[in-house]
């Protein structure tokens, strides 16, 4: 029955700052908000869509999606109530779109509304979304934790520039989810209680939630696995033996799930040399002196022992991968070209390509005498630093000298065009980080590597084609993918693109398919780790094991 | 500067008490003359803690700088099969999660930590003494310089460090190489955010010193301001400066480790005691010895340097030494 | 004394404005971007829009002026409104944090209680332990107690809190299970049991912080006592036939407290500033954690406001220290 | 009070030996010292600095132990009021605590530091009363007021609430005395109670103690190194030398007929006021044990070297909100005098009357407000910074405190060479040569060249200071209280040295002192200063033998005379406290006008404030 299991305590080592996911893209904010506000549909742990506020998932088959792929029509479940008792209507859904698409609002989830031409209410419970062009994947708006429905009444006066002024609404959104906010202390703790108007009268089982933020992953793991103070800890990015040791505490267990997140090495195809004038570094004006040679990139990849990386860095939470898109199943290329470390092969390859150590210092030189010296950067993070050290060592064995650099994450991922240290600027030869995509469709993700989409001075260093990759063939495939509706066809194209970036060109050198490890206490039941949506997607089903 | 200003009394400043002549014992005067440093050494020797502190510190410095010639394993050498080992003959301090030799890493880390400690201390001391002396000696500069001190006290270290990283890393890397570059950067960051206490202490002492008669006497002999500072003021504030120095080494080492904690310290292949300790705290339960060594090294260094400071203060203070 | 205080206060205003400007410029110069927290899946154009919505594109002097007005003109009005129920600040834009999109001052006020509970208690506890140690160490200079005190305080000084903090957590939370390892900021003390719980959750962070504070203050106290123990007036007091206790605890202590009290006063701003690392380790989520979080998220209005408040406190407590000095030491009379 | 037989001693020190544990081993403070004190008697202990006077007295209170010493031998017998004779050397701490302050009171040397700066006078006075007499606060306060009245402090009720620093030095010393007397101890130990004080205040304090002793019958153990004070105070005298007692006897006996060589030397070294009567020019002192002294009078010339006209120096007092000058300290007010080549002009006066300020103004170490200073034709006031530096070659200064005026961190050779280096006069080995010669000149062994100031005795240090002043061959030396801090015997040596140098090199001295006897010994001319003005000026003989200004007359009276037959009583003394020299900005002082009473002997006719 509702509220019979007392209190559940959740620990996120990153503290939520706001409960309105439209004003913050941060995972912590999206996930914490997902207990309160809900989208029309979510992805389940396998990446399948399940209706939440919607009656069913609109498809071509059931006519919810128009034949020309330009509209999608959602029907709300009847009788839904906001936590304040007022009914949920299609107006709210439409409002949500208006709210996010307001030009001055700075909506963080705008990309979900990409291509949305208009949103109309057909009746109390029906909304129709019209796109400006055919959308093979029309499940952007209102699907998944990032674009939940907010109440029109509450946010009506918070549109556009006024959005940040509505502190009360942003901190205490009225929702349809299993819980509602009692008190929100930004960057610290949220206390919630069961939503009396939740659609399932038996849920949630917990009457109260304490959602604590802050600290670090070690402490979070300790609190769940060793001291048992908390029931659930999010994203334990810890060395596998540390987690294993914590599990010995016997208070809980770690669970892992795999989405499309890949830790990879990005090769800079352009020359980042500081001797170039500012504005020309890492631009397509100057190709990289040796990394523009595929054989060098290949050799660098061959020298890496990915098994060991997984073992040391991620354990259960990682798998060896050679793919940029390792999931979902249907899009995964399942390459195996990189699984074996092959130092000798790499050496041979470089020898053949003419990169020889001519001066006997243990470092190879390019045919025109430039030493193979690599600046290898990543964000500051213990596991990444271990990877750096290991890879540096392997590269040394193939005669490549590596200089390591780690940059504070907030600078590295900050994208400040004034800073030389952002991953977009890529003032290094190689960089390492992880990236993924939302939902289950990789189209946008793969479209990033379009010619001209690279960060460059003219675009204020914005752009997603970090490697400065450019292949007209590839661009053609991007366009083709955008036109194709058939899922199997799409998968075929996507796998081709994936291979072009990895296996064929070694532009991107995937290292580890990273899962997410979270931990829950032994007394917490119903936890299903979901990497396609919010981890807390089914918090309504959680219960206390007695 | 004119002479006139010197006689405007400072607010809140009690005049320096003049040191009365010590009781004269005639046989004292027949003792052979000794150099100042011999006296300092004599005094220093009698302070047991200081002596041991000094020896220990020296030992640490020697181990850390000369040790690698004896223990020749490369601290960055990865032997992945031998990871997370406990102490053994091959690895007396064990190995870390990548199988790197902890003893070698301790020595390499010590080299950085001790150098950062000493260099940052020297910088902080230089700045602190300069500003302290200037503020104390030239009344006109006092106000502005003390406000400057307030300003620096209020500055947050972290953004400052980030700004410095951004502005200076590339040029420093270009001129000194990546390791030296970041070293200089961190030393500067610690240095320029920790000179304030020294400046205050020195200023206070200089203000008191300025009222002493020998300064007036020197002025009446035509000593210029520069010479006054160099000959008369600086040597007499040496003892508080030395104490700040020893404290400074300790704080610099600790600050560096805190920076490592906040992810702003040295790069990962650049071990320092602070970083080793921080990295090891995750393994506190499985491999307690990993925490033990760097923790011990930091504590011992700080401890030895503090004792050293205590002794130096006694030794350098002419009032104590003079008796 | 009064004119001295007022004069210093007035002089502090330009100093503070200057400090705020320097902090502002420094933060502007600093690399990093509030969008760093946003996942890489959010495309750059969207990030750019978000940036604009935060007002990042505006010229520097306008941003600074806006902050000045908000901080010095609007925030005080809000305060007045809050207490008097007036509505001066109606409709004015307050200093808004980029992370939370809520007024910075509200969050700061929210954070003060836990910071004061933990850091403040640690400070008080540290001082209460430090003073007797310092006094006795000086009185029995070079005795074993003195040596031990020196040793312990130096160890306390030399152990970084991220280490000692984790150590006590492992010992007292994990192995012994005595205290919670995570501080509950929502805990309300309303009866004996909840008070006991509050004590239990405070004890470890307070211990770790107090160790450092004790280490420093006891060194000061000892030095100051040593300075005074050899003074002539002590001999006079003894010649009057006063007991050792009176001589030390009344005559010497009062004099040696003068510099120590000012040192203590100078340390007070750091209480409000929080203890960054300790708060982080024990998840106290006080002001220190707020600052470091804001720095990491490049939340400039938050960092600017916090550091500025900190600067105000430093300047203010410098003044208080001076005034205290004057009050405690009858020989010193300002103006 | 005198209910005991007089020959029964109140306190008896027998074969006292005190040792100090220092780093250089055991130091013996006093050895084999025996003497006794009878009820109602004043025993003076004299001896040079470091001879063990303080150690003996502190031993009697068992306070040496707190200074790191311990009583290694001997007995300290004390006849308690009830309970008979106890040996204080063996007494336990509780007993000692009871005796201290209650049965033995002690007055310390330094009035400035002997009082706790953070407690009110009242609190410190009543503390002992409440402890030993068990009085309530009110009773103790009443008694405290009475005590302050006894020591003649005006407005005693108000004083109780004041802090020590709000009282003048003389008043503070009186408070200390009142404190020591509070519980009517039977033995009062006074350790150099007047050394740090001005003549006038000293005279008052001595008279006060004499009166109190008479009135209460307390026995007094009086420690001093000043023979003149001994002559004023003592019934019996104990002479100490290097930790031992060398002579003991009734005061007349000691003065008339000293036995021990040291006592003789001590007495010979004391300049006595009136000694120079009838001799117009200064003469070096005859010192015992020094062969072939040149005791010829020093004539000098009548050619003016330094002419000062209308010198005014004021220090601003800042205040108010904007720290503007709200008042001025009129330190030197319209002072004019002439100093001849090869002669000495002395400025005398009480502390704070502006002597030092006048001396410093002449070197422009403080900037005078107005006036003319003419040094051998050079107008000092007109010089710019460089010119002034150059001019200081010809005028040098010797400061009061020989320790404070030497840099403790510099070797002597460097300190003496500093002026030479500053002016680039010599370089390299020539410097060492010249410094060595200067050392010879002031009779310091050359082996001292590499020593540090703290390794020298006070007299030696002052010689170094003189050597340094001589390094530039100046024409004028301003000697600001150059001998005040020295022991009598050393003082005599230094004075002789200065006179000798004057005779040989034709130096002119501006000699600043508050010690009338010394001034009488060394000067050709004398100016008496009061509140910034010279109230009387003229040839030394004229001023000393025929003082005309009332202030000069009072000052003369206050000087203790080293003759036990000419004791002063409190009635002879009549001092008003010096009015404040601080005046508001608009205050216009009248110009100084003088009446020439004799040829060259001027007396101020303007109102001086006295
Ligand atoms: N605390 C101490 N430690 C070591 N030696 C001491 C100490 N106090 C005094 N002495 C030594 O004892 C001797 C006698 O000193 P004392 O203070 O009695 O001299 P004094 O006659 O009072 O001199 P003054 O006239 O300068 O006061 C001196 O040689 C001095 O060096
Ligand atoms: N630097 C200064 N600032 C303000 N007032 C001063 C200063 N120096 C001296 N005075 C004041 O000027 C007056 C004369 O002082 P001065 O030192 O000349 O007296 P003095 O006769 O030398 O006394 P003493 O015998 O104590 O040395 C005193 O009232 C003193 O307080
Ligand atoms: Mg003495
Ligand atoms: Mg003077
Ligand atoms: Ni000037």
> Domain boundaries in chain C?
110-332
Torsion of CA A439, A442, A444, A449, to 10 degrees: 150
Q: How far is CA D486 from CA A393, A427, B23, C231, D359, in A?
A: 77, 76, 11, 23, 20
Q: Suggest the residue from C3, C236, C249 to mutate for an interface test with chain D (most D CBs closer than 10 A).
A: C236
Q: Are residues A205 and A2 in contact, defined by beta-carbon separation less than 8 angstroms?
A: yes
The 3 state secondary structure assigned to A166-202 is CHHHHHCCCCCCCEEEEEEECCCEEEEEECCCCCCCC
Q: Where are the domains of chain B?
A: 36-73+108-316
Q: What number of other Cβ atoms are within 10 A of residue D594's Cβ? A: 17
Strands (E), D486-579: 508-513, 525-530, 533-539
Helix, strand, or coil (residue C22): helix
Between positions 151 and 170 of B, the ones with CB within 8 A of A are 162, 165-166, 169-170
What does the alpha-carbon distance between residue D115 and residue D123 come to, in Å, rounded to a whole number?
Answer: 11
Q: Which of C183, C158, A308, A241 is nearest to B284 (CA)?
A: A241
The percent of chain D in helix, strand and coil, each rounded to the nearest 5, is: 35, 25, 40
Question: Mean pLDDT throughout D454-482?
Answer: 85
- Does residue D27 have its Cβ closer than 6 Å to ligand 1? yes
Query: Which H or E run contains D491?
Result: helix D488-505
Any idea which residue has 């007397």 for tokens?
D181
Query: Mean of the per-residue pLDDT values for chain B?
Result: 75
C227 touches chain D (CB under 8 A): no
DSSP per-residue codes, A100-135: HH-TTS--TTGGGGTTEEEEEEEETTEEEEEESS--
Index of the ligand 2 atom closest to the CA of residue D581: 29
Residue C245 distance to chain D (closest CA, Å): 12
> Can you give the pLDDT at residue D564?
80
Q: Are residues A251 and A522 in contact, defined by beta-carbon separation less than 8 angstroms?
A: yes
What does the alpha-carbon distance between residue A395 and residue A341 come to, in Å, rounded to a whole number?
Answer: 12
Q: The tokens of C269 are what?
A: 């701003």
> Can you give the pLDDT at residue B164?
74
> Can you give the pLDDT at residue D23?
64
Phi then psi dihedrals of residue D299, to 5 deg: -90, -45
Minimum Cα–Cα distance from A394: chain B residue: B78
Q: Are residues B216 and B208 in contact, defined by beta-carbon separation less than 8 angstroms?
A: no
> Can you give the pLDDT at residue D344?
92
Residue B27 has pLDDT above 60, yes or no: no
Ligand number nearest to the C-alpha of D49: 1
- Rg for chain A, CA atoms, rounded: 24
What does the alpha-carbon distance between residue B215 and residue C91 come to, in Å, rounded to a whole number?
Answer: 63
pLDDT in tens, C100-147: 888 888 888 888 888 888 888 899 999 999 899 989 988 887 788 888
Q: Suggest the residue from C8, C240, C253 to mutate for an interface test with chain D (most D CBs closer than 10 A).
A: C240
Question: Mean pLDDT throughout C88-104?
Answer: 77
With pLDDT > 90 as the criterion, what percentage of chain B qualifies?
Answer: 2
> Can you give the pLDDT at residue B183?
85
Question: Mean pLDDT throughout C209-237?
Answer: 84
> Can you give the pLDDT at residue A344?
92
Helices B157-192 and C2-29, packing angle to 10 deg: 100
Q: Look up the CATH superfamily of B36-73+108-316.
A: MetI-like (1.10.3720.10)
Helix, strand, or coil (residue D250): strand
- Mean pLDDT comparison of C67-81, C99-113, D366-380, D403-417, highest-scoring range: D366-380
C40 touches chain A (CB under 8 A): yes
With pLDDT > 70 as the criterion, what percentage of chain D qualifies?
Answer: 95
Minimum Cα–Cα distance from D188: chain C residue: C239
Which domains occur in chain D, in start order? 11-268 (3.40.50.300), 323-394+474-604 (3.40.50.300)
> Can you give the pLDDT at residue D562?
79
Q: Which of A105, A245, A76, A218 is nearest to A164 (CA)?
A: A105
Residue D245 half-sphere exposure toward CB, CA atoms < 13 A: 18
Question: Mean pLDDT throughout D160-172?
Answer: 83
Q: What pairs with residue A516 in β-bridges?
A: A257
Residue B249 has pLDDT above 50, yes or no: yes
Q: How far is CA A112 from CA A164, A173, D538, D575, in A?
A: 21, 20, 106, 98
Q: Are residues C310 and C273 in contact, defined by beta-carbon separation less than 8 angstroms?
A: yes
Distance D514 CA to ligand 4 centre (A): 9
Residue D243 half-sphere exposure toward CB, CA atoms < 13 A: 15
The 3 state secondary structure assigned to D353-397 is CCHHHHHHHHCCCCCCCEEEEEECCEEHHHCCHHHHHHHCCCEEE
pLDDT band at D1 (very low <50, low <70, confident <90, very high): very low
Q: Are residues C248 and D104 in contact, defined by beta-carbon separation less than 8 angstroms?
A: no
Q: What pairs with residue A183 in β-bridges?
A: A191
Strands (E), D556-593: 582-584
| Chains A and D contact (Cβ–Cβ under 8 Å for 3 or more pairs) | no
Residue A227: list chain C partners with CB under 8 A: 173-174, 177, 180-181
What does the alpha-carbon distance between residue A156 and residue A142 come to, in Å, rounded to a whole number?
Answer: 18
Q: The tokens of C320 are what?
A: 């208080």
Architecture of domain C110-332: Orthogonal Bundle (1.10)
| Chains D and B contact (Cβ–Cβ under 8 Å for 3 or more pairs) | yes
Quick check: ipTM above 0.85?
Answer: no
Residue A361 distance to chain C (closest CA, Å): 37
pLDDT in tens, D170-183: 788 888 888 888 88
| Tens of each residue's pLDDT in chain A, 546 residues | 788 888 899 998 888 888 888 887 788 888 899 999 999 999 888 888 899 889 989 988 888 888 888 889 999 888 888 988 899 898 899 999 888 888 887 788 888 888 888 888 888 889 999 988 888 888 888 888 888 999 988 888 888 778 777 888 888 899 898 999 998 888 888 999 998 888 888 888 899 999 988 778 888 888 898 888 899 998 887 878 888 888 888 888 888 888 888 999 999 999 998 888 888 888 888 999 999 898 999 999 999 999 989 988 888 888 899 999 988 888 888 888 888 899 999 999 999 988 888 888 888 998 888 889 999 998 877 788 889 988 998 999 999 999 888 887 777 887 777 778 888 889 999 999 988 887 888 888 888 898 888 888 888 888 888 889 999 999 999 888 888 878 888 899 999 999 999 988 899 999 999 888 889 999 998 888 888 888 888 888 899 987
Q: What pairs with residue A118 in β-bridges?
A: A130
Q: What number of other Cβ atoms are within 10 A of residue B98's Cβ? A: 21
Question: Mean pLDDT throughout C87-104?
Answer: 77
> Can you give the pLDDT at residue B9?
28
CA triple A23-A26-A31, angle to 5 deg: 100
Q: Are residues B118 and B90 in contact, defined by beta-carbon separation less than 8 angstroms?
A: no
Q: The tokens of D526 are what?
A: 């004398």
Residue C192 distance to chain B (closest CA, Å): 35
Minimum Cα–Cα distance from C285: chain A residue: A188
Residue B259 has pLDDT above 90, yes or no: no
What does the alpha-carbon distance between residue A47 and residue A530 come to, in Å, rounded to a whole number?
Answer: 8
Between positions 271 and 290 of C, the ones with CB within 8 A of A are 280-281, 283, 285, 289-290
Q: The tokens of C207 are what?
A: 């211990």
Q: What pairs with residue D73 in β-bridges?
A: D17
Burial class (CB in 10 A: 0-12, 13-18, 19+), A545: exposed
Q: Do B159 and C167 touch (CB under 8 A)?
A: no
Instruction: Identify the residue with better confidence: B184 or C54.
Output: B184
């Amino acid at each position: 029955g509702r509220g019979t299991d007392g209190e559940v305590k959740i620990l996120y080592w990153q503290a939520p700052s706001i409960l309105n996911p439209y004003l913050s893209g941060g995972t912590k904010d999206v996930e914490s908000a997902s207990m309160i506000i809900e989208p029309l549909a979510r992805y389940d742990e396998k990446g399948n869509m399940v209706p939440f506020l919607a009656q069913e998932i609109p498809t071509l088959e059931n006519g919810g999606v128009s034949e020309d792929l330009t509209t999608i029509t959602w029907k709300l479940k009847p009788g839904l109530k906001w936590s304040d008792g007022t009914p949920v209507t299609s107006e709210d859904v439409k409002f949500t779109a208006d709210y996010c698409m307001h030009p001055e609002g700075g909506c963080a989830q705008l990309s979900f509304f990409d291509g949305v031409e208009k949103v109309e209410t057909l009746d109390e419970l029906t909304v129709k979304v019209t796109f400006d062009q055919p959308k093979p994947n029309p499940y952007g708006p209102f699907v998944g934790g990032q674009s939940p429905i907010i109440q029109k009444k509450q946010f009506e006066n918070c549109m556009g520039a006024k959005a940040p002024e509505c502190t009360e609404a942003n901190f205490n959104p009225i929702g349809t989810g299993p819980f509602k906010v009692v008190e929100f202390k930004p960057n610290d703790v949220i206390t919630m209680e069961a939503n009396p108007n939740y659609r399932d009268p038996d849920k949630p089982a917990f009457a109260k939630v304490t959602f604590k933020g802050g600290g670090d992953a070690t402490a979070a793991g300790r609190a769940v696995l060793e001291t048992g103070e908390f029931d659930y800890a999010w994203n334990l990015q810890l060395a596998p033996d540390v987690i294993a040791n914590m599990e010995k505490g016997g208070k809980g267990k770690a669970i892992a799930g795999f989405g499309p997140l890949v830790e990879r090495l990005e090769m800079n195809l352009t020359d980042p040399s500081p001797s170039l004038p500012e504005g020309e570094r890492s631009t397509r004006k100057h190709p990289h002196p040796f990394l523009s040679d595929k054989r060098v990139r290949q050799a660098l990849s061959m020298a890496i022992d990915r098994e060991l990386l997984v073992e040391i860095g991620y354990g259960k939470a990682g798998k060896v991968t050679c793919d940029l898109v390792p999931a979902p199943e249907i899009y995964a290329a399942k390459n195996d070209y990189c699984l074996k470390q092959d130092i000798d092969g790499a050496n041979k390859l470089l020898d053949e390509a003419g990169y020889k150590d001519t001066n006997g210092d243990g470092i190879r030189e390019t045919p025109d005498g430039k030493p193979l010296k690599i600046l290898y950067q990543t964000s500051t993070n213990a596991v990444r630093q271990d990877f750096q050290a290991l890879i540096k060592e392997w590269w040394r064995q193939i005669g490549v000298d590596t200089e390591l650099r780690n940059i504070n994450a907030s600078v590295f991922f900050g994208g400040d065009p004034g800073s030389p240290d952002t991953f977009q600027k890529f003032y290094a030869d190689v960089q390492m980080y992880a990236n993924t995509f939302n939902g289950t469709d990789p189209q946008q993700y793969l479209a990033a590597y379009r010619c001209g989409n690279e960060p460059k001075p003219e675009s204020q260093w914005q752009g997603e084609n970090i490697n400065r990759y450019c292949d007209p063939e590839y661009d053609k495939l991007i366009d083709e993918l955008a036109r194709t509706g058939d899922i199997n066809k799409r998968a075929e194209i996507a796998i081709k693109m994936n291979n072009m970036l990895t296996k064929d060109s070694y532009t991107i050198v995937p290292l580890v398919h990273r899962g997410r490890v979270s931990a829950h206490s032994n007394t917490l039941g119903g936890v299903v780790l979901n990497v396609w949506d919010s981890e807390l997607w089914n918090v309504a089903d959680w219960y206390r094991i007695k | 500067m004119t002479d006139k200003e010197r006689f405007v009394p400072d607010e809140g400043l009690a005049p320096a008490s003049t040191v009365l002549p010590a009781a004269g014992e005639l046989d004292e005067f027949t003792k052979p003359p000794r150099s100042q440093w011999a006296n300092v050494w004599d005094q220093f020797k009698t302070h047991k803690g200081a002596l041991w502190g000094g020896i220990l510190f020296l030992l640490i410095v020697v181990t850390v700088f000369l040790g690698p010639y004896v223990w020749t394993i490369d601290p960055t050498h990865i032997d992945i099969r031998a990871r997370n080992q406990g102490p053994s003959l091959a690895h007396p301090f064990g190995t870390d999660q990548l199988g790197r030799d902890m003893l070698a890493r301790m020595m390499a880390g010590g080299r950085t930590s001790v150098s950062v400690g000493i260099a940052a201390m020297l910088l902080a001391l230089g700045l602190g003494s300069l500003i302290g002396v200037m503020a104390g000696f030239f009344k006109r500069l006092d106000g502005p310089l003390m406000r400057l001190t307030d300003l620096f006290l209020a500055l947050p270290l972290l953004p400052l460090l980030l700004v410095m990283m951004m502005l200076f890393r590339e040029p420093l890397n270009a001129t000194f190489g990546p390791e030296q570059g970041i070293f200089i950067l961190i030393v500067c960051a610690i240095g320029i955010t920790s000179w304030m206490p020294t400046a205050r202490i020195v200023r206070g002492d200089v203000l008191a010193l300025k009222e002493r008669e020998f300064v007036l006497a020197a002025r009446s002999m035509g000593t210029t301001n520069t010479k006054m500072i160099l000959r008369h003021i600086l040597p007499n504030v040496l003892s508080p400066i030395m104490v700040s120095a020893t404290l400074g080494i300790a704080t610099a080492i600790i600050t560096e480790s805190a920076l490592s904690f906040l992810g702003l310290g040295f790069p990962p292949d650049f071990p320092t005691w602070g970083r080793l300790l921080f990295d090891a705290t995750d393994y506190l339960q499985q491999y307690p010895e990993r925490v033990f060594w760097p923790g011990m090294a930091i504590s011992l260094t700080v401890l030895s340097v503090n004792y050293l400071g205590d002794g130096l203060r006694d030794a350098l203070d002419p009032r104590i030494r003079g008796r | 004394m009064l004119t001295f205080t007022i004069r210093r206060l007035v002089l502090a205003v330009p100093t503070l404005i200057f400090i705020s400007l320097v902090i502002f410029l420094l933060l502007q110069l600093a690399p990093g971007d509030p969008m760093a927290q946003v996942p890489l899946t959010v495309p750059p154009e969207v990030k750019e829009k978000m940036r604009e919505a935060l007002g990042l594109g505006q010229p520097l002097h306008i941003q600074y002026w806006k902050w000045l007005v908000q901080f010095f003109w609007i925030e005080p009005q809000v305060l007045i409104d809050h207490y008097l129920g007036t509505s001066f600040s109606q409709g004015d834009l307050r200093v808004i944090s980029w992370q939370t999109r809520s007024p910075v001052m509200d969050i700061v006020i929210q954070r003060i209680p836990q910071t004061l509970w933990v850091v403040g208690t640690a400070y008080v506890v540290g001082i209460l332990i430090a003073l007797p140690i310092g006094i006795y160490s000086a009185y029995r200079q070079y005795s074993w107690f003195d040596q031990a005190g020196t040793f312990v305080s130096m160890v306390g000084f030399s152990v970084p809190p991220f280490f000692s903090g984790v150590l006590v957590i492992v010992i007292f939370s994990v192995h012994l299970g005595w205290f919670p390892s995570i501080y509950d900021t929502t805990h309300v003390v309303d009866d004996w049991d909840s008070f006991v719980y509050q004590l239990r959750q405070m004890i470890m962070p307070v211990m770790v912080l107090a160790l450092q504070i004790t280490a420093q203050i006891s060194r000061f106290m000892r030095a100051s006592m040593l300075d005074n123990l050899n003074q002539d007036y002590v001999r006079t007091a003894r010649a009057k036939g006063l007991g050792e206790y009176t001589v030390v605890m009344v005559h010497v202590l009062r004099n040696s407290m003068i510099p120590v009290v000012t040192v203590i006063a100078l340390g007070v701003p750091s209480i409000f500033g929080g203890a960054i690392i300790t708060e982080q380790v024990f998840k106290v989520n006080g002001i220190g954690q707020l600052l470091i979080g804001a720095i990491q998220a490049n939340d400039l209005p938050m960092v600017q406001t916090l550091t500025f408040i900190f600067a105000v406190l430093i300047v203010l407590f410098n003044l208080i220290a001076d005034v205290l000095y004057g009050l405690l030491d009858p020989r010193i009379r300002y103006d | 009070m005198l209910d005991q037989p007089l020959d029964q001693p109140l306190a008896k020190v027998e074969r006292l030996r005190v040792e100090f544990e220092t780093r250089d081993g055991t130091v013996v403070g006093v050895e084999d010292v025996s003497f006794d004190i009878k009820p109602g008697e004043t025993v003076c202990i004299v001896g040079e600095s470091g001879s063990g006077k303080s150690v003996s007295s502190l031993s009697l209170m068992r306070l040496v132990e707190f200074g790191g010493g311990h009583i290694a031998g001997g007995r300290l017998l004390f006849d308690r009021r009830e309970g008979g004779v106890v040996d204080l050397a063996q007494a336990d701490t509780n007993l000692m605590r009871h005796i201290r302050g209650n049965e033995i009171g002690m007055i310390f040397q330094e009035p400035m530091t002997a009082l706790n700066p953070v407690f009110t006078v009242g609190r410190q006075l009543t503390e002992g009363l409440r402890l030993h007499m068990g009085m309530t606060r009110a009773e103790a306060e009443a008694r405290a007021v009475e005590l302050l009245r006894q020591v003649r402090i005006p407005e005693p009720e108000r004083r109780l609430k004041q802090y020590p620093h709000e009282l003048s030095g003389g008043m503070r010393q009186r408070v200390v005395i009142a404190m020591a007397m509070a519980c009517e101890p039977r033995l009062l130990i006074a350790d150099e109670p007047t050394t740090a004080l001005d003549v006038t205040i000293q005279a008052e304090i001595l008279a006060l103690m004499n009166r109190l002793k008479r009135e209460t019958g307390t026995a007094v153990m009086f420690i001093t190194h000043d023979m003149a004070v001994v002559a004023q105070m003592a019934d019996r005298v104990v002479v100490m030398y290097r930790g031992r007692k060398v002579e003991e006897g009734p005061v007349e006996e000691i003065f008339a007929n000293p036995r021990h060589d040291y006592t003789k030397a001590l007495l010979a070294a004391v300049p006595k006021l009136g000694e120079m009567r009838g001799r117009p020019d200064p003469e070096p002192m005859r010192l015992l044990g020094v062969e072939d002294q040149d005791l010829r009078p020093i004539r000098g010339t009548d050619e003016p070297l330094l002419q000062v006209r209308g010198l005014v120096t004021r220090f601003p007092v800042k205040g108010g909100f904007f720290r503007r000058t709200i008042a001025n300290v009129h330190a030197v007010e319209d002072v004019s005098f002439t100093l001849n080549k090869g002669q000495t002009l002395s400025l005398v006066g009480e502390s704070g009357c502006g002597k030092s300020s006048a001396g410093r103004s002449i070197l422009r170490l403080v900037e005078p407000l107005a006036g003319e200073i003419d040094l051998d034709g050079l107008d000092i006031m007109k010089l710019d910074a460089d010119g002034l530096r150059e001019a200081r070659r010809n005028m040098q200064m010797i400061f009061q405190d020989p320790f404070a005026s030497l840099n403790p961190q510099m070797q002597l050779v460097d300190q003496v060479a500093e002026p030479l280096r500053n002016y680039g006069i010599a370089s390299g080995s020539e410097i060492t040569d010249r410094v060595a010669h200067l050392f010879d000149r002031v009779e310091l062994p050359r082996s001292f060249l590499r020593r540090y100031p703290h390794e020298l005795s006070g007299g030696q240090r002052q010689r170094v200071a003189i050597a340094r002043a001589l390094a530039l061959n100046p024409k004028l030396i301003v000697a600001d209280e150059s001998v005040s801090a020295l022991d009598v015997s050393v003082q005599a040596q230094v004075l002789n040295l200065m006179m000798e140098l004057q005779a040989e090199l034709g130096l002119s001295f501006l000699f600043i002192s508050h010690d009338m006897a010394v001034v009488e010994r060394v000067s050709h001319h004398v100016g008496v200063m009061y509140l910034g003005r010279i109230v009387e000026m003229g040839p030394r003989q004229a001023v000393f033998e025929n003082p005309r200004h009332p202030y000069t007359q009072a000052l003369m009276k206050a000087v203790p005379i080293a003759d036990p037959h000419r004791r002063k009583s409190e009635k002879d003394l009549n001092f008003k406290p010096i009015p404040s020299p601080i005046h508001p900005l608009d205050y216009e002082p009248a110009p100084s006008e003088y009446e020439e009473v004799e040829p060259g002997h001027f007396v101020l006719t303007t109102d001086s404030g006295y």
